[in-house]
Amino acid sequence: MAQYSKNDIVTVKIEDIGTEGEGIGKLEGFTLFVKDAVMGDVVEARLVKVKKNYAYARLEKVLTSSPLRVKPVCPYHKQCGGCQIQAMSYEAQLQFKENKVKNNLVRIGGFDQLFIESVMEPVVGMEQPWHYRNKAQFPVGTDKDGRIITGFYAGRTHSIIANTDCALGVEENEPILQKVLAYMQNEKVSAYDETTGQGLVRHILIRKGFTSGEIMVCLVINGKTIPHCHDLVGRLRQIPGMTSITLSTNTAKTNVIMGDTIRLLWGQEFITDYIGEIKYQISPLSFYQVNPVQTEKLYGLALDYAGLTGNETVWDLYCGIGTISLFLAKKAKQVYGVEIIPQAIDDAKNNAKINNITNAEFYVGKAEEVLPEYYKEYEKTHNGEKAHADVIVVDPPRKGCEESLLQTIVDMQPEKVVYVSCDSATLARDVKFLRANGYELKDVTPVDQFPHTVHVEVVCCLHRVNS
């Protein structure tokens, strides 16, 4: 086998995409990971880190351009790292995501490929895959000439690249950022410096309610107040839709962006948005889905899969601010939501209240503790009768569900399990367990929540066999 060393230049055909969007090619059984290379390219690459059977390489030159390659919209896409696959056409991105889900279900889930093809719907893409993010957090700093800048961190670093026009964000971001910068220059307000811990303004959080048009700006500051806040407020109020201007204090030397507290400068502390018919109040610290257009499609599918008639008892595990729970509550008899973060549950309860939903109850705790404890307790207090659910929905973080939780789900014998996932590898692992324990995979639909990134969400439905 050929020996490779650092700085060697090699020619390679890119045949796959890695988890971070990097191109993958092979040289005599040796695997190369080439950042910024697109599947289908033939490239010249310089080896930067060589291991026994694989190496990381830097793209030097595209020798033959992939038919999937497009001219990226954003001039900063390589430095930023936010859009890992922007240089691929949107159709190719969707195809890549669909294949990824399919392959994981076959490889990890142990399903037959033809079976997966028979239960899987095409990936649900966006008609307009740009400007879809309703939230952005821009770091504020100083460039080498001492000018105040804002933009984004260059991938894997904390150096700020001045760019106020991210192609995934809303168009209002740009004028808002310009106004904050103008205020800072005018009033001589300093930018925070991460290395010294000095300076005032750390981050600018912007959120927009896509259905309401309401806009929120929150300045995260290394202090309690800002000077001449009427100047800032006066400028920001000129933006149509401005609803909420706040400060959040964060004086800790930390990578955490937001502080714990919010102080109102103008307007109200929250903005309102709708997903479907459900109204949400979103404060600067609330979790909220960043792509509401695709979220509505994703949760709409979850609701369809649940097939509710009004008589069902439903659990929504990992419920966050109750988005799915409230979606389901309108069509179910009773919904129980479980979530580990107490503030999210406060939001879920508030959202239930403002929507006049009275058949949703929320519990704070780990799903893998709350549900098994409920199950055991129910049996004790109901003369050995077992707790039953008609539908259980799970929407876990990337690591998926613990097996003990899956076991309790199986014990509760729901007719349907609806699994919403942001990582199709752990989804495939968990579906394999459910399949081995009396459940059959019926429907799978990938949904593209994050165009131009490697991420893909999936919703699928399992039915209890012989139910």
Q: Which stretch binds ligand SAH (CB under 6 A): 170-178, 223-231, 319-327, 377-385?
A: 319-327
Residue 423 contacts ligand SAH per CB under 6 A = no
Contact 328/319 with Cβ under 8 angstroms? no
Q: Compute the least distance from the CB of residue 286 to ligand SAH, in Å.
A: 10
Q: Which stretch binds ligand SAH (CB under 6 A): 96-104, 197-205, 340-348, 409-417?
A: 340-348
Neighbouring residues of 246: CB distance < 8 A, sequence distance ≥ 6:
216, 217, 218, 219, 262, 263, 264, 265, 269, 284
Q: Which stretch binds ligand SAH (CB under 6 A): 66-74, 208-216, 339-347, 353-361?
A: 339-347
Q: Return d(Cα 138, Cα 169) in angstroms, integer.
A: 11
7 backbone dihedrals φ, ψ, rounded to 5°? 75, -5
Residue 341 contacts ligand SAH per CB under 6 A = yes
**One of 36, 214, 339, 423 touching ligand SAH (CB under 6 A):** 339
Helical H segments across 6-155, by residue range: 77-80, 90-107, 113-119
Residue 321 contacts ligand SAH per CB under 6 A = yes
Scan residues 374-413 and list those touching ligand SAH (CB under 6 A).
Answer: 395, 397
Q: Return d(Cα 172, Cα 209) in angstroms, integer.
A: 12
**One of 360, 367, 412, 462 touching ligand SAH (CB under 6 A):** 367
Cβ distance to ligand SAH smaller for residue 9 or 341: 341
Element (H, E) at 301: helix 292-306
What DSSP letter does each residue of 69-96 carry, written as one string?
B---S-TTHHHH-SSTTTTB-HHHHHHH
**One of 94, 180, 206, 324 touching ligand SAH (CB under 6 A):** 324
Scan residues 56-85 and list those touching ligand SAH (CB under 6 A).
Answer: none
What DSSP letter does each residue of 199-227 carry, written as one string?
-SEEEEEEEE-TTT--EEEEEEESSS--T
Residue identified by tokens 């012989």 is 466
Q: Compute the least distance from the CB of residue 323 to ligand SAH, in Å.
A: 3
Beta strand 278-282 with 313-317 is unpaired
**One of 47, 74, 191, 319 touching ligand SAH (CB under 6 A):** 319
Scan residues 298-317 and list those touching ligand SAH (CB under 6 A).
Answer: none
Cβ distance to ligand SAH smaller for residue 32 or 321: 321
422 is catalytic: yes
Binding site for ligand SAH (CB under 6 A): 287, 289, 318-321, 323-324, 338-341, 344, 366-368, 395, 397
> Which positions are annotated as active-site residues?
422
